[in-house]
A and B are shown apart, each in its own frame.
Chain A
Amino acid sequence: MKKIIIKYINILTVWGLLLSSAQAQTVSKDDNILSDSLKTPANRWSHTTVSADELQKSNWMLNSTNVYYQQLLGITASQLARPNAPGSKLMARNISYPLVIIDGVERDIENFAISEIENIEFVSDATALAIYGFKAKAGALLITTKQGKGGKLNIEANYSHGVKFAEKPQPMVDAKTYALGYNEARINDGRDIVYDQNAIDYYQSGQRPMVFADVDWYDEVMKDAAYYNQYNVSVSGGSKNIKTFTSINYQTDQGFIKLSKPDKDIPNQFQYSSLKLRSNLSARLTNSTVFKVKLAGRITESSRGNDTGYNLIKILYNTPANAFPVKTENGKYGIGKKFKVNPVAKLMETGFYKDHIRALTTNFIIEQDLKGIVPGLRLTASLSHDNFSRLYEIKTKEHESEIVTPVFKNGELELTYQTVGKNQGSYNFNSGLGWEKHRTNGQVHVSYAKAFSNSSLNLDYIGFIENYRLKDLRNTYNRVSNNLIAKYSFADKYELEGVINLSGSNILDPKDNWGYMPAVKVGWIASNEKFFQNLDMLNYLKLDMSYGIIGNDHFKPDQYISGYGGGGRILLGDNATINTIKRYNLPVDNLAYQKQKIFNLRVQTQLFDHWFATANIFKNSSYDLFITQQHLVSEVLGVQPGLANVGKNDYKGYELALTYQGLSGDWKYSVTGRFSAYDNEIINVDEKPWPYEYGKRTGKRLGQLFGYKAIGFFKDQNDIENSPKQLFGTVNPGSVKYADIDNNGTVDEYDRIALGEGNKPRCNFGLNLSVAYKNFSVDMVVDGIAKYETLMNRSLYSINYDNNFSQEYYDNRWSENNQNAKYPALTLENNENNLQESTLWLEDCSFVKLRTLRIAYQFPKTLIGRIKATNAEVFLAGYNLFSIDNVEGDPEARGFHYPMHRVLSAGINVNF
């Protein structure tokens, strides 16, 4: 049925093209095929778009996701702590990642430099999202790259140099404290001490450090500061009929490793260098035809020692100060019996890992004005092909280490040495394809615009066809999408827009792989009404409301197939191994695409000339979600029941932005305050029947943490005996005591309650401030979140399996003299009891951060005219400068992580 409709639409449009004829009409220019129809008068402040002038202010940042996205109402960004030009994680309304569309095609923004971007817009109305068919998400970022201007050549050169300061690590205990703590744990467990006074004296005195090691591993390996450089040259220009924009961007970034390179060809530092090239050309071929080409390429090389940032930091924290010396007295690298990785040796001796990214994105577009056939009719066709590949090379080798064991015999120190491993002369080399992505996308856009005396009508047909292929099997996504869009605007006051999308995908069952997504939007520009015209204070007031159903197929292919596959082998006798075949799962009944019903109400207003406000309220009901049915089907079935489209989640929230913009003599200023609050609820999820409400996932927020309620520590054996049984492991005085919520005498999984507020912050807020005076300007962004809790990194707060522990833990641990402690007693037995997820380990991650501060000075035109420059600016900027929060370390990076950075950058922008 749906296929017939499509064929009908196709025929209709072709017929329209061939048979009708009318006058021409000038056409509006828009490179981005899908754009918003909101009229934006010159000085209107938009809270959902940001343009090149604003983006220019962050051109000293290395990663394009670090642009001031917080300016876009509805987008929240949280900084990631990683080596190599780390970016931010972007969320649309705290629901999911946004759909990122660059020049009309879904692309990865990290492949592009900030200087290439002309315009970024965030859309969240169902009418704007439905157009993307099965790719739709809860919000979309529409990005356009620079087209350039025709005419005289304009060259822009930028250079910035930044220094990054590493986050300070959490202090871990020194060797003496470790030994004392270890002994204390043994005594708590009813066993003998391990470190005798002789050993402790040596740690205290610091004599023979290559036998009685006391190494601050973090300090041995990591340094406080590193630098980066960024060079950018953009050229734009052309002639009457040709516009071009070309840019070259080159970045290098160094990491925080302190050690020198073992060899100039063997990197052990986190190093990154990236080259991004772009060339956009727009040529008017006839007075009704424009041909555009956009080409961009990226080459990136990153290298590091043989450990990822995460793994390296984990080893640095987890290796106790006394585990082994960096080098023994014999000059060999130290190693332990229990701790088998020497981080210094790992970075100096074991080789490296290099990563090469090659990416190419292309767009070929023809815009044909068909005014010769029907006035107001335009056709745009475009073809694009994107390629991305990541190749890796690894060199590894072994090295020799030595274990030194000190033993005291009759007060005399005796050392035994044991060699481990051997020195390998040459490296083993390995290389391969890490990842690849290919996307081919064809689009057709036919639009018809007709103006009447008091109204206007726009009709559009937009069709996409796309093939998206990733590495490995079963990673190919073929999609087709057809859109019919109608916009009617009356008396400059009323707007009505309707969208119907018809999409097909190969992810769905071939018997039923089409879906249709309708959306509608009404707008009312109230300020144009007669009764509002007399209100001087009210410059502009618009209300709009949109509602629609968008769909997506974001799950793995082949879910509609139920098949047989290998069941593993079985031994039925001596040397009698047999293959078995089993049924994998039952097929999914009626595989359907996932849907979201989105309702959005928006008010935009300008008051007293200087005040601009935007307010949104939305509700997003996601249903037909593809979830497992593990707990909804009886085990008597005997086979995996397969997933089903029965999941349901609800999201809602409101967003406010208020700006004051003013001019006063030589002063120009604007202040924007932003606030968003989000909430969500799980309506239906795969969960086993739970006896009590408090333990159920259903009805709570997504990503809700569950854990026990910690009510203190056991005082003594008596206390343990008279309390409900805790069966996680050994329980001693000083172990954590949990509440028996269901009063059944034992603490087990049915006593778990909801902890924290879900896996996304409930509130995001911020303040942007811009002040300019004569040639100086200051821009500041403050960002914050509230109502967000996570669990602490518990491995720093226990001596689990001999691991290292933090000074904070040692200073606040339970002991018989310190019963009102923050943390449980030291113990070496299996720490299962103390490390359970519970209220004890919950921490509040809310913060207010001075995200960015930039001070710039523009040289007077007369001065720079001498070097034929049209504009020159020097600036000093900082990122992630200051944070008010409740946790040790950075509130945005919890658990083991590569150090978070604070950046100070200086740079210069010159235009010729």
Chain B
Amino acid sequence: MIKLKRLVYNCLLLFILLTGYSCEDFLSYSENVLMTEEVAIKHINDAAAVGFYAYKFIKDDFRGGMRASACDEAVFARPSYIQTYYDNSWSPFKLIDKRWAELYVGIYACNNFLEVAADLTFENQATTQGFADKYKNYKSLKHEIIVLRAYFYFELAKRYNNVPLVTKMLNTDEANTVSPTSGKEIFKWVASQCNKEYEKMNEDFKESAIYNNQESRISKYFAKALESRALLYAASPLFNNGTYDKASLKGSAKASLELIKAKEEAGVDISKIDYYNLWNSINNTHYKNPEILGYKFIGKNNSFEKENFPVSFAGGNSGNCPTQNLVDAYDMQKGKTYDPENPYQNRDGRLAKTIVFNGQKWAYNKTVDVSYNGADGLPLKNATPTGYYLRKFAMKNTDLNAQNETSHTKIWIIFRLAEAYTNYAEAMAILYGPNGTDGILDRSAVESLNKVRRRVGNNVADIPDNLSTDEFLATLKKEKFVEFAFEDHRFWDIRRWQIGDQTNRIHVMEVTKKNGKIVYTKKKNAFVRDWQDKYYFYPIAHSEVMINKNIVQNPGW
């Protein structure tokens, strides 16, 4: 038999072991796999990775329905969310997209990087091989992120006008009580940020030893182009209660000219660059194009072609169909006149490159037929409602047949040199008239806009120098419509110029075959879209307005 005493001692031992032992480690056991901040920024690659995360929030407009289909640039062939812009269902409860939330996540990523990961020295890694190049790569990131953050605020202000300007990481209470800053002040802030960083930034990222082909990163020219655009917005009557802000116009013109001169000195002449080079993927012509100053690299992708090829083409879904409004904006070539029986003959060279019209040879070497009962025309389900299909940005030699699918690299253009010329022309015309100059602003608006007109392949006449300011501005608006078609400019220009109520009637081209002849009939006001002045700004989400009492809903919503 076991002795009682020994048994008691054994029990006590067990007892003490179970309850007297220090529970500290046992109760703080954790298998956490997340990095703490200290670990995240220790190594130069990881510190840079914190900054690169912000790049993810640059968005292209290559979705199914482009914003072009929400204004007079195009009509989307199928039911789509894009109709929310104009079918009167848009509201603070039914938002068009989540850009408000996404842009603030991007801004937080920038603030995070700038606050904790931007100015590190990595002494303990300084002797590793290749560190010098890595460090150069890393150092550049700080300036890029500052400009990127400014770009995000630009995107917020142009949509929502008054938004909170947050330049450090907040906690939940602060986020729920922060006060908004006016849109105009934000644009001016954006411009000042770009201006400050310009000198410190890279010209390009071509040096592969250091930048490993990361060529789409933000260069100094992106910053300058953003400054030029932001000040133009700051000057607009939409953000200034109906008048132009001359100081901002001057600032914009200065920035535009600085950019133009820098690029001209580097030998870039846009009149010698083919329009097609903006999206030509063969030999990567597009991102090697010196006219392009800022872009998002998308990689091999054929969903754009799948979306926009004509309905009878393999894989095609019609997508964004250009309007007659846009087609009418293309001038005739020098000395030619309009022929209603051959409406696309002798037109501005950009027309045939941007738009697929009836009788044009397109992908698969197939000729497009948009006539009524034609292969690509009504009443076929999902055929173009306007008589046109989109050509710009689509690569002709893409094959969408199931067995042999091919795709090409795409880029989404954010800033390019031609805009510097048109921005300059717009600012100068409002300040000094079409032909005026002033001191360092030594070119006239007409001279600047003509540079764009004279692009190789356009073959259109110059703009005369005997126009009034209003006439010139009308020509400029038409030129922008044409030059920047489908580059997500028109939608915002309509708002900036406050011509929403003049651009909501969509015209189309009806093509019919009569007795073997093709007849072109323009149909005016085929679609009349809802326009209310509240559409000049996006509605802020109802939940945001409810959570933060300082945020005021935009008027009319």
B426 → A minimal CB distance (Å): 32
Q: Which residues of B contact A730 (CB under 8 A)?
A: 79
Whether a CB of chain B sits under 8 angstroms from the CB of A28 is no
Most B CB contacts (10 A, CB to CB) among A465, A558, A581, A582 go to: A581
Please, which residue of chain B has its CB at the minimum distance from the CB of A7? Answer: B20
B293 → A minimal CB distance (Å): 15
Q: With A and B bound together, what is the CA distance between A429 and B178 in angstroms?
A: 59
Q: Which residues of A contact B543 (CB under 8 A)?
A: 631, 688-689
A634 with B31: CB separation less than 8 A = no
B214 with A14: CB separation less than 8 A = no
Whether a CB of chain A sits under 8 angstroms from the CB of B30 is yes
A579 with B19: CB separation less than 8 A = no
Known: A581-B53, A586-B172. A573 touches B104 (CB 8 A): no
Q: With A and B bound together, what is the CA distance between A862 and B409 in angstroms?
A: 94
A580 with B53: CB separation less than 8 A = yes
Whether a CB of chain A sits under 8 angstroms from the CB of B402 is no
Whether a CB of chain A sits under 8 angstroms from the CB of B460 is no
Please, which residue of chain A has its CB at the minimum distance from the CB of B103? Answer: A638
A570 with B55: CB separation less than 8 A = yes
B46 with A581: CB separation less than 8 A = yes
- Among residues 690 to 715 in chain A, which have CB atoms less than 8 Å away from a CB atom of chain B? 691
- Among residues 297 to 318 in chain B, which have CB atoms less than 8 Å away from a CB atom of chain A? 297-299
Contact for B212 among A17, A443, A576, A746, CB less than 8 A: A576
Spot the interface stretch: B35-43, B192-200, B220-228, B510-518. Answer: B35-43
Contact for B104 among A474, A635, A688, CB less than 8 A: A635
Interface string of B115-144 (1 = CB under 8 A from A): 000000000000000000000000000000
Whether a CB of chain A sits under 8 angstroms from the CB of B548 is yes
B216 with A573: CB separation less than 8 A = yes
Whether a CB of chain A sits under 8 angstroms from the CB of B432 is no
A558 with B31: CB separation less than 8 A = yes
Whether a CB of chain B sits under 8 angstroms from the CB of A482 is yes
A558 with B18: CB separation less than 8 A = no
- Among residues 9 to 31 in chain B, which have CB atoms less than 8 Å away from a CB atom of chain A? 11-12, 14-16, 18-20, 23-24, 26-31
- Among residues 347 to 361 in chain B, which have CB atoms less than 8 Å away from a CB atom of chain A? none
Contact for B12 among A14, A636, A689, A727, CB less than 8 A: A14
A574 with B409: CB separation less than 8 A = yes
A501 → B minimal CB distance (Å): 14
Q: Which residues of A contact B14 (CB under 8 A)?
A: 381, 444
Q: With A and B bound together, what is the CA distance between A580 and B287 in angstroms?
A: 23
Whether a CB of chain B sits under 8 angstroms from the CB of A289 is yes
| New contact pairs (11) apart from A3-B23, A558-B32, CB-CB < 8 Å | A368-B7, A465-B18, A478-B26, A504-B27, A564-B50, A571-B297, A575-B213, A578-B49, A632-B547, A638-B111, A638-B175
Known: A561-B32, A565-B34, A636-B104. A576 touches B15 (CB 8 A): no
A15 → B minimal CB distance (Å): 12
B35 with A480: CB separation less than 8 A = no
A637 with B104: CB separation less than 8 A = yes
Known: A557-B31, A746-B89. A573 touches B15 (CB 8 A): no
Interface string of B96-115 (1 = CB under 8 A from A): 00001100111111011000
Whether a CB of chain A sits under 8 angstroms from the CB of B94 is yes
Interface string of A712-728 (1 = CB under 8 A from B): 00000000000001010
Chain A residues close to B by CB (< 8 Å) = 3, 6-7, 10, 14, 17, 285-286, 288-289, 366, 368, 370, 372-373, 379, 381, 442-444, 446, 463, 465, 467, 473-476, 478, 480, 482, 504-506, 510, 513, 557-558, 561-565, 567-568, 570-576, 578-584, 586, 629, 631-639, 641, 688-689, 691, 725, 727, 730, 746, 748-750
Q: With A and B bound together, what is the CA distance between A748 and B542 in angstroms?
A: 14
B2 with A635: CB separation less than 8 A = no
A286 with B4: CB separation less than 8 A = yes
Please, which residue of chain B has its CB at the minimum distance from the CB of A509? Answer: B28
Give me the 4 closest cross-chain CB pairs, A-B, nearest first. A638-B108, A563-B34, A689-B546, A637-B175
B471 → A minimal CB distance (Å): 43
Most B CB contacts (10 A, CB to CB) among A366, A446, A558, A638 go to: A638
Spot the interface stretch: B163-171, B326-334, B413-421, B448-456. Answer: B163-171
A641 → B minimal CB distance (Å): 5
Please, which residue of chain B has its CB at the minimum distance from the CB of A583? Answer: B112
Most A CB contacts (10 A, CB to CB) among B20, B29, B104, B215 go to: B29
B4 with A372: CB separation less than 8 A = yes
Whether a CB of chain A sits under 8 angstroms from the CB of B391 is no
Q: List 17 A-B contacts (CB under 8 A).
A: A7-B20, A286-B4, A474-B31, A558-B31, A558-B34, A563-B35, A567-B56, A570-B56, A579-B49, A581-B50, A582-B109, A583-B108, A634-B544, A634-B551, A638-B108, A638-B175, A750-B93
Whether a CB of chain A sits under 8 angstroms from the CB of B266 is no
Please, which residue of chain B has its CB at the minimum distance from the CB of A461? Answer: B19
Known: A561-B34, A576-B214, A578-B49. A510 touches B28 (CB 8 A): yes
B8 with A639: CB separation less than 8 A = no
Interface string of B233-275 (1 = CB under 8 A from A): 0000000000000000000000000000000000000000000
Q: With A and B bound together, what is the CA distance between A563 and B15 in angstroms?
A: 39
Known: A480-B27, A565-B34, A574-B213. A580 touches B49 (CB 8 A): yes
Q: With A and B bound together, what is the CA distance between A573 and B548 in angstroms?
A: 40
Most A CB contacts (10 A, CB to CB) among B19, B213, B214 go to: B19
B29 with A463: CB separation less than 8 A = no
A572 with B108: CB separation less than 8 A = no
Q: With A and B bound together, what is the CA distance between A750 and B544 in angstroms?
A: 16
Whether a CB of chain A sits under 8 angstroms from the CB of B541 is yes
Q: Which residues of A contact B18 (CB under 8 A)?
A: 381, 442-444, 463, 465
Q: Which residues of B contact A727 (CB under 8 A)?
A: 89
Whether a CB of chain A sits under 8 angstroms from the CB of B33 is yes
Q: With A and B bound together, what is the CA distance between A691 and B89 in angstroms?
A: 17
B172 with A641: CB separation less than 8 A = yes
Q: With A and B bound together, what is the CA distance between A330 and B542 in angstroms?
A: 63
A368 with B8: CB separation less than 8 A = yes
A474 with B32: CB separation less than 8 A = yes
B32 with A563: CB separation less than 8 A = yes
Please, which residue of chain B has its CB at the minimum distance from the CB of A288? Answer: B4
A482 with B19: CB separation less than 8 A = yes
Whether a CB of chain A sits under 8 angstroms from the CB of B176 is yes
Q: Which residues of A contact B32 (CB under 8 A)?
A: 474, 557-558, 561, 563
A808 → B minimal CB distance (Å): 31
Q: With A and B bound together, what is the CA distance between A119 and B108 in angstroms?
A: 59
Q: Which residues of A contact B169 (CB under 8 A)?
A: 638-639
- Among residues 374 to 420 in chain B, which have CB atoms less than 8 Å away from a CB atom of chain A? 409
Please, which residue of chain A has its CB at the minimum distance from the CB of B381? Answer: A191
Q: With A and B bound together, what is the CA distance between A638 and B166 in angstroms?
A: 10
Please, which residue of chain A has its CB at the minimum distance from the CB of B5? Answer: A372
Whether a CB of chain A sits under 8 angstroms from the CB of B52 is yes
Known: A444-B15, A563-B36, A637-B172. A285 touches B52 (CB 8 A): no
Q: Which residues of A contact B217 (CB under 8 A)?
A: 572
Q: Which residues of A contact B101 (CB under 8 A)?
A: 635
B175 with A379: CB separation less than 8 A = no
Known: A505-B27, A563-B34, A634-B175. A576 touches B55 (CB 8 A): no
Please, which residue of chain A has its CB at the minimum distance from the CB of B52? Answer: A580
Q: With A and B bound together, what is the CA distance between A633 and B27 in angstroms?
A: 31
Whether a CB of chain A sits under 8 angstroms from the CB of B1 is yes
Whether a CB of chain A sits under 8 angstroms from the CB of B468 is no
Q: With A and B bound together, what is the CA distance between A379 and B8 in angstroms?
A: 9
Q: With A and B bound together, what is the CA distance between A19 and B242 in angstroms?
A: 93
Most A CB contacts (10 A, CB to CB) among B16, B49, B551 go to: B49
Most B CB contacts (10 A, CB to CB) among A557, A564, A688 go to: A564
Q: Which residues of B contact A446 (CB under 8 A)?
A: 15
Q: Which residues of B contact A580 (CB under 8 A)?
A: 49-50, 52-53, 55-56
Please, which residue of chain B has its CB at the minimum distance from the CB of A563? Answer: B34
A633 with B35: CB separation less than 8 A = no
B104 → A minimal CB distance (Å): 4
Q: With A and B bound together, what is the CA distance between A14 and B15 in angstroms?
A: 9
Q: With A and B bound together, what is the CA distance between A370 and B5 in angstroms?
A: 10
A474 with B105: CB separation less than 8 A = no
